[in-house]
Structure 1
Amino acid sequence: MPEPGAHVGDARRYELLRHRDSGAMGDVWEAFDNNLDRLVAVKFPLHRPRGINPNREREAADRALFDREALTMAQVSSPYVATIHDRHMGAEPFLVMELVEGRPLSRLLGETPLPLERTCRWSSQIAEGLGAAHEVGVVHRDIKPGNILITDDRSDVRIIDFGLARFADATASYSGAGTPLYTSPEQCRMEAGDRRSDLYSLGCVMYEMVTGWTPFGDRSSDPGALARAHQERLPVSPRVQVAGVPEPLDRLIMSLLAKSPDERPQNAQAVIHAVREVERAPVMPEESPSRDHRSVRGAASPHVNTGFVTRIRETERRARKLRIRYGHSHPEAIAARMELAELTGRSGDALGAAQLYDGLGQDCRRWFGPHDRRTLDAFEGIARWIEGATE
């Protein structure tokens, strides 16, 4: 692995500052571009172990494939895909990309569903990024929360590792296509897959957004069992898992998770259109869904009033900036989080408001104690919006 302070590229253009991440696709470094005076991300792909008798022909084929993928990735133009700035094909090939300051979506997912506004916004942005790639013939083949960054400044999506899956598939360090929790049935059969495979993986991510769980298994599950589940089992409907998931959103997710690619939405634009229909759909009363072995959370049918979307995004952005500037426990940061929860509830997503208040209440209890006014205010907000969700 390179060392901090090393220079790479022609005329020592890029100075490596610090190692940022390692994964199945390679190593990412934060670097400084001396030509353009800006911070960038430099990604070194993983290499096949050379061994005693390296296969020179295979190494040459790998490098040619990496170069071809880099050129293809550079054609993807979308605000929701990390931009490729440069490529270097010397003794140590690497890509130079936009440095995205943010957190992977995987850190924001857990057993608590996301508020509906975030689910709709981020799902639509992921679909837009995929659509831009698909238009130029690039299939990601490893869409998962870890490859979706949420930016710190605007709370928008950036998809990373576009096109590198096909390069990584050719290396001995990478086994199989995609990540088992999010892999399409056809990829589980070791078929190449196409843009509809990406949409299946998006369906898995959306399922996790609205329920807190992946469609099948968890990170401790056997990969072979997960592959069989993707090919043979039908996932439990999100509306059965969690009360209040809008019927149009449930229908979209289940269609994305169809076993046959022909039965899924055929392109990303269809997904974007369907998400917008979810946002515009009227709130309809519904019966409580049946319970399975997991608890059903909430009872309202959440709906995003589009008049609130801009205000929610602005408040979310302001809360994030205040936390970065003053710290998480600063009064202004806490007040902004309370405002965000209120706006979420007023937009029609009472369950989402209760979840945001719950997170704030847990934080305030840890920072200030269980009897502090800020803790009690947050928990009062949970009760108020839960009561509104069940009326």
Structure 2
Amino acid sequence: MKQIGRYRLDEVEGFGAFATVWRGFDVELETPVAVKVLAENWAHHADVRERFLAEARLLRQIHDPRVVRVHDIGTHEDRPFFVMDYVSGGTVADRVKPPGSTEDALRLAVECARAVQVLHDEGMLHRDVKPSNLLIAEDGRVLVADLGSAKRLAEASGVTVTTGTPAYMAPEQARGAPVGPRSDVYSLGAVTYELLSGRPPYDVSDPGTLLHRSNDSRPAPLASSGTVPRNLDHLLASSLATRPDDRPESAAAFADTLEQIAGGAKVRHVRRVRREVSPGLAITLAVLVFAASAAATWFLIG
């Protein structure tokens, strides 16, 4: 068993190039926590260390149930760490393979977009929106986490350092061009596409395909599967547009449209059910159609 101060580290929940996140336990308050610890090999890099601590400060500043909250920060054996809420429902990445129903996928996608909008309202871009950075609470809320790549909107209008995950990264972000809220909207479109299909919208195994994507590029449509409304394909295509101006103007607008489509999909389903008729009624209708046709024919001959 490992321990940092009063925090017991029980199991690794996730890890990346710079840090490890543990599922832990606060032995004094007797409550589960998540503890993020900077990797030992980066502990003496001043720029990485500062970026790690900046993430903790950003998370601490936001008071919203859709963003993971930081409760404590410290250093253990010269490695900084910070302590966060433990979110027990896993991540959105756990829900993409195999994909769930269209209704569940849309509900989760709306939650993701609402969480990202909270960051934008606080004047921040996430710049690494992806399924593993979106946590699911027991009540179904999605919480945004991992602000290691976050940047203040006021600082994002110039040339930026490329950061993020290629499968979910907007083309302008990959090029180091100025970014904005619509860059995160692109990432939300990619997450939504994967929730619906079980795969990212584009193959980016060759980074050049992201850097040189044409303006008329569109992801493979999903409506042909019969489970996705056609207008949802239109929304996904616009959110994944190469040009930022062609995307929904905000994460909130993206969420609003998703909700409208989800409501419309339910209405269409109800209408299909209403069109079903009993065999007896079908025979009666057929007789009436035949009689009307015969009468029309007699009238024309006469």
Number of the residue aligned with 2:2 = 5
CA separation of 1:215/1:135 partners in 2, compared to 1, >3 Å: closer, same or farther?
same
28, 38, 52: which one aligns with 2:31: 38
User: 2:22 is matched by which residue type in structure 1?
Assistant: W
Number of the residue aligned with 2:8 = 15
CA separation of 1:74/1:349 partners in 2, compared to 1, >3 Å: closer, same or farther?
farther
Find the aligned partners of 2:182 and 2:39 in 1 and give their Cα distance: 27
Q: Does 1:255 align with 2:241?
A: no
153, 157, 173: which one aligns with 2:142: 157
Q: How does 1:255-274 map to 2 (within 5 A)?
A: 255-274=238-257
- 1:98 CA displacement: 1.0
Contact 1:180 1:226 in 2 (8 A): no
124, 127, 133: which one aligns with 2:119: 133
92, 101, 118: which one aligns with 2:88: 101
186, 191, 206: which one aligns with 1:200: 186
The total of aligned residue pairs comes to: 263
Taking structure 1 as the reference length, the TM-score comes to 0.59
CA separation of 1:104/1:216 partners in 2, compared to 1, >3 Å: closer, same or farther?
same
Which structure carries more strand by proportion? 2
CA separation of 1:19/1:237 partners in 2, compared to 1, >3 Å: closer, same or farther?
closer
Find the aligned partners of 1:158 and 1:304 in 2 and give their Cα distance: 26
- 1:257 CA displacement: 0.8
Number of the residue aligned with 1:77 = 63
CA separation of 1:89/1:198 partners in 2, compared to 1, >3 Å: closer, same or farther?
farther
- SS of 1:254's equivalent? helix
Find the aligned partners of 1:347 and 1:113 in 2 and give their Cα distance: 23
Find the aligned partners of 1:192 and 1:13 in 2 and give their Cα distance: 43
User: 1:304 is matched by which residue type in structure 2?
Assistant: K
Find the aligned partners of 1:78 and 1:272 in 2 and give their Cα distance: 18
Q: Report Cα offsets for 1:277-318 as digits up to 9, x if no partner.
A: 11332xxxxxxxxxxxxxxxxxxxxx236xxxxxxxxxxxxx
Unaligned 5+ segments in structure 1 are: 168-174, 282-302, 306-344, 351-391
Q: How does 1:138-287 map to 2 (within 5 A)?
A: 138-151=124-137, 153-161=138-146, 163-166=147-150, 176-191=162-177, 193-217=179-203, 222-228=205-211, 230=213, 234-239=217-222, 242-281=225-264
- SS of 1:94's equivalent? strand
- 1:250 CA displacement: 2.0
Unaligned 5+ segments in structure 2 are: 152-160, 274-302
Structure with higher Rg: it is 2
Find the aligned partners of 2:56 and 2:124 in 1 and give their Cα distance: 11
- SS of 1:32's equivalent? strand
CA separation of 1:48/1:139 partners in 2, compared to 1, >3 Å: closer, same or farther?
farther
Taking structure 2 as the reference length, the TM-score comes to 0.75
104, 107, 128: which one aligns with 1:118: 104
Number of the residue aligned with 2:266 = 304
- SS of 1:102's equivalent? coil
- 1:118 CA displacement: 1.0
